Every structure is written in structure tokens, then in C-alpha cells.
Chain A
């Protein structure tokens, strides 16, 4: 335990990475989603009369034969899923004291989110 560091006079910090990864992930995924939200909002605002074709085109447009609309939406959705995992796990850690119940809720959260990712991917990439 030679690598343990004392913070202040009392607190002995132990662990692997002290939640730094979660902290960074929460912020980076937030920025990605915020930028995508603004891009999508701009796309909607600059479409004079929105109809099915132009709405769908926001998610299916190509750029030099690259499916850019689908790629951006996929990246934003993966960010959403990872962001939601960190946030919802925080809620369980704050309010659920029992370790067994917390494990159950965390597993349920992962299944809920992975299911959502697969569902979204199926909708988006079958367009």
C-alpha cells in the first residue's frame, strides 16, 4: 500500500481511478449530445416546410457517399447511452443502500440501455 496517498490530514484515499473516467465521460458525452442537438435544431430551423422526406433526410443524408446522417446520429446515441449509464448509476448509488438491490438495478439499467441502442440502430440503419 505504498502508493496510497493521504488527502489532508484524515482522509486515506484508496481505489483505482477515483471515478475520473466517469467524470470525464459524463462531460464529453454531454458536449457531443449538445452539439448534435444544435446541429439537428439548425437543420430543422433551416427546413422551410418540414415534411416526411426532409425530416428523414436529417438522419439519412450522405456526404461523398458517406452515410453522414446515420453516423452522426449513431455517435450521438452512443454518447446518450453512456451518459445515461453514468447518471442513472449515480442515482442508484445515492439512494439505494442495499448492495444486492443496487446490483440488480445496475444490471437492469445496462440491459435497458443496451436494448435501446440495438433498437435505435435497427431503426436507423434499416432506413
Chain B
């Protein structure tokens, strides 16, 4: 039916973990893999963490206040911080992809620059929310 299936293409599937770790991805590649990791993180945490938290925040003034009590736990703070980072990175990198789809910044130099901007904005905002979360101000 299809001649593309009859001719086997070379496959490189036997990569080992140390090999993957030793590859130095360009900034755009790092943004891409973190986009995937943060998306998977948000997907997994959605019914486990995010929705229960949402339920408690809107149900009653007592449950709203109870969240403050849990967040006092440093482990909860770290989970929340990871989710905040995940959302911000996924958001910023996603906007970058939408712009690339519109053929904005497709050349090598500006694509690399925009990947840097993604990390800059998402990490800076994570820092701001993190400082707020840990009660620095």
C-alpha cells in the first residue's frame, strides 16, 4: 500500500540515560523539554492537588482559611512552588510556540533569544510568587 513502510528507516532507540544527560541542549531545546515536563506535571496534579485545593478555596470561609494552615507546611510550599513554576513555564513557552506558529521569530537567533525570554519571565515570576508563598513580604 505504501512504499514508505516497505523501506525501513534507520532508528536510534538505544540511548542510555547518561547519554541523554550528557547532551547539551540549546536553550530552545531546554524550553521544549521543560514544556513537556511541566505539562505532564500539571496533568498529574490536576485531580490530585489542584482541584481539591480549588474546592477548599471556594466552598466555605472555614475551608478557605484552612488552606492557609496547610500551606504553613514547607513540603506543601514546595509542591505549590513546583506547580506555580510548571504553570508559568508552560504558559510562557506556549505563547512562544503560538508566535512561532504565526511565523514570528522563526530564524535561529531570535528563536534562541525568545527561549531565553521564556526562561527569564517564567523564572522571575516564579521567584516573585515563591517569595510571596514563603512569606518574605
Contact = CB atoms under 8 A, between A and B. Distances in A.
Contacts of B61: 52-53
B4 A123 contact: no
Contact of A123 (B1, B36, B54, B94): B54
A37 B61 CA distance: 24
Name B's interface SS.
Answer: helix
B98 interface: yes
Contacts of B65: 52
Contacts of B43: 84, 87-88, 112
Number of contact residues on A: which range applies? 20 to 34
Interface string B47-91: 100010011011111001100000000000000000000000001
Most buried by A among B43, B55, B57, B98: B43
A10 B94 contact: no
A88 B40 contact: yes
B107 interface: no
A115 B59 CA distance: 20
B98 A31 contact: yes
Name A's interface SS.
Answer: helix
A91 interface: yes
B95 interface: yes
Interface string B82-113: 00000000010011011001000000000000
Contacts of B22: none
A123 B39 contact: no
A115 B43 CA distance: 12
Given A30-B94, A56-B57, 17 more contacts: A1-B1, A10-B3, A12-B4, A27-B98, A34-B91, A52-B61, A55-B64, A80-B46, A84-B43, A84-B46, A88-B43, A112-B43, A116-B51, A119-B47, A123-B51, A123-B59, A127-B58
